Structure 1
Amino acid sequence: MTDDLSRLSSSAYSQALEVIASVEPRIAEATRAELADQRASLKLIASENYASPAVLMTMGTWFSDKYAEGTVGHRFYAGCQNVDTVESIAAEHARELFGAEYAYVQPHSGIDANLVAFWSILAHRVEGPWLEKAQAKNVNELTDADWEELRRELGNQRLLGMSLDAGGHLTHGFRPNISGKMFHQQQYGTDPETGLLDYDKVAAKAREFKPLVLVAGYSAYPRRVDFAKMREIADEVGATLMVDMAHFAGLVAGKVFTGDEDPVPHAHIVTSTTHKSLRGPRGGIVLATEEYAPSVDRGCPMVLGGPLSHVMAAKAVAFAEARQDSFRGYAQQVADNAKSLAEGFLTRGTDLVTGGTDNHLVLVDVSKYGLTGRQAESALLEAGVVTNRNSVPADPNGAWYTSGIRLGTPALTTRGFGHDEFDTVADLIVDVLSNTQPGTTKAGGQSKASFVLADGVADRVRARSAEMLDKHPLYPGLELS
C-alpha cells in the first residue's frame, strides 16, 4: 500500500473499532488482539493468508443487509439491482482471471462449492423427480438406509477421489462426510514408496470402479497434478472430471500452473475457495463449462440459501487484484518460497512427504523426532509458529493425532518473506521439534497429545522470529488506537 492508503486504512479501522466498542467493547478488543497476534506469529497454515484492506473493507458494508436468492436478473426478492451488479462483476472477473466459460460466485465456502458441483453433476446426468425429493428431506435426519435409497434413485452413482491420508479432502468422498454418503465412493492413493500419484493406478481403479465423478485436487499433496491425464482417465470411463483447486487457485490465477497443470481447460467443473492462495474473502466459487452452467446456476436454492452479497463484492475486489501483473510475481514467489522451505528442511535432515514440493505447501513427517503431529503443532504454537497437524500416507496415528504437520508459504509471502527468511523458518521449526519430548499419560505411558518443550526454546524462537517479522510488518502503517 502507498503511504496515503495506509493512513486512510488506519483511520478507517480505528474509527470502525470505536463504533464497535460503543456497543460491545469486548469484540473490539478481541479484534485488536487478533491483529496483534497475527503480526507477532509466523503464520504457516497453508489454507490461510492476509486479505488486503480493500477486500476486508468491502465485506463491512450494507450489502450484508440484502436477501438475494436466485440469480442475476431472476431474484426471489425485489430491490436486488445492485446485488446483480456486484455478482455480475465478480463473475466477469473470475471468468477472465481463470479463462473459464462460466463462473458461479455465490457459494459461501469451499465445501458449499463442492456440494453445488456434486448436485449439479447429478442433476445434469439424471434430471428427474428425485431432485425435488432430495431437496425436501431433512439432511440431519437421513439414516444410512435413507442414503442408500437415495443413491439407488440416483442410479447408484459413484465417486472416485483422493484418499484423506494421501492428501485429499474430507469432501472428496470421505465416508463420514456428506460426500461419502451422497455417493457410493472409493478412493485412490499415492505410491507407498514415493508418495506421488501413480496415474496408471488411478486409471486402473477408475476402469474397475467406473465412477460417475472423478475428483482431482488436494489439500495436503505437495506436488503438481497432470490434469490432462486425469481428463483422459475420466473420458475413458465416461466420468465427469471435477477438480477442487481450493488450495492452489492462486497459483493457477498467477500463471504458475499452466498447460496440463492448469485444471480449468481440462475439467468439466472446477471448485475453489476464494481465500487461501487467492488472498480474497472466505468464500467459494464454481467454474464450469457451458454444458454444466445451467445446473450449477441452480446452486441456490438447490444447495445454498441466500448469497452473501457483501462477500461476493469482496470476491470481485480480490479477483480484480489477482488480475494485476503484481499478483503473478506474488504467486511465483509463493512457489519459490515453498522450495526454499523444503530445501531448508532437507539440509537439516528432516523427512518430507514426497521428498520436497513443487507447489505452495510442505508436508513434514515428524515421526523421526518421536512426536505426533498434534504434539509438534502444539509445541510450535508455544514458540509462536502457527501450523496444523496433518496425516501422512498410511499414517499410523490416524487423522486426529497424525504423524505430520502441513506448512504453507502464501501468508508469509504476502508479508514479503523470501528465500533467506524461509530457510530460517525451517531452522526454527527444526529447533523446536528437536527439543520437544512426548509427555506422559496419567497411567505413566507415553502420551500422543501432551509434550515437553525444553526450557528457553520458545523464547529463543520467538526472538528470532521477531527479527524477521519486524522487517516485514503486517498491514504496515495501520495503527489501531
Structure 2
Amino acid sequence: MPVTAAATAAPAPAPADFEALRRQDPRIAEVILGETARQAEGLQLIAAENFTSPAVLAALGSPLANKYAEGYPGARHHGGCELVDAAERIAVERVKDLFGAEHANVQPHSGSSAVLAAYAALLRPGDTVLAMGLAYGGHLTHGSPSNFSGRWFDFVGYGVDAESGLINYDEVDALAHRDRPKAIVCGSISYPRHPDYAVFREIADEVGACLIADAAHPIGLVAGGAAPSPVPYADVVCATTHKVLRGPRGGMILCGADLAERIDRAVFPFSQGGAQMHTIAAKAVAFGEAATPAFGEYAHQVVANARVLADALAAEGLEVLTGGTDTHLIGVDPAPLGVDGRSARGRLAAAGLVLDTCALPYGDGRGIRLGTAAVTTQGMGEAEMGRIATLFAKAVRDGAEEGGELIGKVRAEVRELAGRFPPYPG
C-alpha cells in the first residue's frame, strides 16, 4: 500500500512566519505561493525530485542557518559551534548506521560537490577515469568537457548493449584492461537498472583501480531495502540526500575508515568552506526518517509504481528503454507516438506533467526520463500510475499542441488527479 499523503507530505509554511515574509518581501512571498500552487496542481515526475517531510522543512528554516561552522565537530574554525557540532555528529552516526558505512561526510552541498571531493581524494589531474559515457546516461561529473571532470581528468566512456540497453560488462572489462584507469565510476542519471557492483569491483581489482559509486539516484532505495547497496563494494560512495531519500537538497560521501581523512580534507578545506548547518540538521532528520519501517514500505512502493508505470507507458505505444525498470526512474522514447523528446517535454509541461529529457543510446534526438518518487510520497499507487500513463500518451500523440484544446483537457484531468493527493495539505 502507498504511504499516505498525511504521513509524508509537507504542510504549507507556518502562518506567522509566512506573514512576516509577506510583509517584508511580498514579491518573494508571491513566488513561494506560486511555486506551492504549481507543485499542488501538477504531477512532479522529475526523477531527481521529491517532497520533504514537515520535520525536514522545519530544520531547513531554523536558526541553524545563522551559524558559521568551517571545519568538523570538535575542530571548527569558529566559536559557538557546540550545538551544531551535535547536529552534525547525529547526522553522521545516523547515515553510517543506515548504510553500514565506516565513515561518512555529510557536508557536501550537492551530489556534484561530493563527486568532486571523491576525485580530489583519490586522483590527480590527468589521471584516467572509466565511467558511463554521457550519451548513455553518464552525469556531467563523469567527463563532460563543460565540467571540471572533463577538464581535469582523462575520461574513457563505457556504454550499453545496442539491443538490450543494458550495461555491457564485457566492454567495461575490455576498456579497463586497455586503458588502466586510476578509478572506475559506476552510476548514471538515467539508467533504470541496478548496476552489478560485484562485477565492477572485480574489474577494478584486476586493473588496480579505485571504485567510485555515484549512487545519487538509487541511494534512497538502498536505504529502504529496495535496491542493492554499493557500500560493501565501492571504495567511495557519492550520493545526494534529496531524490528518493526525501531529504534536503545536498550531498554526502560514504567510505571506509582508511579513506576517512582523505575524504574529509577533500571536502574541507580543499573544495568547500563553511558547512550549511541548517541543511546538515535537515539531513539528520531525513536519515532518521529513512531508518523507519514506513520508509522501507515507501521505497518498495516507489519501485512497484515505477514498474507499473513503465508497463502502462509501453501499452500506450511508447518505447521503454531496457524494457522496464528496477528502480524509481523510467526512460522512454516517444518517437512511436510521432514526437521527439524535447517537443514531448513541452507538451507534457503544458499539461502539468513535469519531467525531463534524457539521452537515447544509439538513437537520434532525446528521450524522456521520469520517476515515481514524488507522486508516491503524495500517496499514489498502482492505479494512479495507469492513469498517469494515459494522460502522458494523450499529451504527446499527434495532434496535441501546446496551448491547444487537447492539452487543455489533459491539464484539467491532471489538476483533478493531483488535487486528490495534495503535497501540502493543510
TM tier relative to shorter chain: over 0.9
Alignment of 1:268 with 2:235, yes or no, is yes
Structure-2 residue corresponding to 1:102: 103
Give the % identical residues.
Answer: 44
1:426 counterpart (379, 384, 389): 389
1:45 Cα deviation (Å)? 0.3
The question of whether the paired residues in 1 share the 8 Å contact of 2:11 and 2:424 is answered with no
Q: Superposed, which structure 2 residues align to 1:288-307 within 5 Å?
A: 288-298=255-265, 299-307=267-275
Q: Superposed, which structure 2 residues align to 1:408-423 within 5 Å?
A: 408-423=371-386
Give the aligned residue type for 1:29. Answer: E
Q: Superposed, which structure 2 residues align to 1:439-458 within 5 Å?
A: 452-453=401-402, 455-458=404-407
Instruction: Tell me, in whole angstroms, the C-alpha distance in 1 between the residues paired with 2:69 and 2:97.
Output: 24
Shift of the 436–226 alpha-carbon distance from structure 1 to 2, 3 Å rule, reads farther
CA deviations 1:281-331 (Å, max 9, x no partner) are: 000000001111110111111111111011000000011111111000000
SS of the aligned residue for 1:280 comes to: coil
Instruction: Tell me, in whole angstroms, the C-alpha distance in 2 between the residues paired with 1:180 and 1:465.
Output: 41
Give the aligned residue type for 1:302. Answer: F
Give the aligned residue type for 1:271. Answer: C
Structure-2 residue corresponding to 1:472: 421
Structure-1 residue corresponding to 2:28: 27
The question of whether the paired residues in 1 share the 8 Å contact of 2:317 and 2:336 is answered with no
Give the aligned residue type for 2:371. Answer: G
1:335 Cα deviation (Å)? 0.4
1:61 Cα deviation (Å)? 1.6
Instruction: Tell me, in whole angstroms, the C-alpha distance in 1 between the residues paired with 2:181 and 2:137.
Output: 20
Q: Superposed, which structure 2 residues align to 1:390-405 within 5 Å?
A: 390-397=358-365, 403-405=366-368
1:367 Cα deviation (Å)? 2.1
1:72 Cα deviation (Å)? 1.3
Q: Superposed, which structure 2 residues align to 1:44-55 within 5 Å?
A: 44-55=45-56
Instruction: Tell me, in whole angstroms, the C-alpha distance in 2 between the residues paired with 1:274 and 1:108.
Output: 10
1:33 Cα deviation (Å)? 1.2
Unaligned runs of 5+ in 1: 127-150, 398-402, 438-451
SS of the aligned residue for 2:285 comes to: helix
User: Relative contact order (alpha carbons < 8 A, sep ≥ 6): 1 or 2 greater?
Assistant: 2
1:433 Cα deviation (Å)? 1.0
**What TM-score comes out, normalization by structure 2 length?**
0.95
SS of the aligned residue for 2:286 comes to: helix
Structure-1 residue corresponding to 2:59: 58
Structure-1 residue corresponding to 2:128: 158
1:453 Cα deviation (Å)? 4.3
SS of the aligned residue for 1:297 comes to: helix
Structure-1 residue corresponding to 2:370: 407
SS of the aligned residue for 1:374 comes to: helix
For the pair shown, which has the larger CA radius of gyration, 1 or 2? 1
1:67 Cα deviation (Å)? 1.3
Alignment of 1:115 with 2:83, yes or no, is no
CA deviations 1:393-452 (Å, max 9, x no partner) are: 13433xxxxx21100000000001111100110111111111346xxxxxxxxxxxxxx3
**What TM-score comes out, normalization by structure 1 length?**
0.85
CA deviations 1:159-187 (Å, max 9, x no partner) are: 11001121111111222211111211111
Instruction: Tell me, in whole angstroms, the C-alpha distance in 1 between the residues paired with 2:61 and 2:403.
Output: 44
Alignment of 1:170 with 2:140, yes or no, is yes
Structure-1 residue corresponding to 2:210: 240
Q: What RMSD over aligned residues (CA atoms) do the two structures have, in Å?
A: 2.0
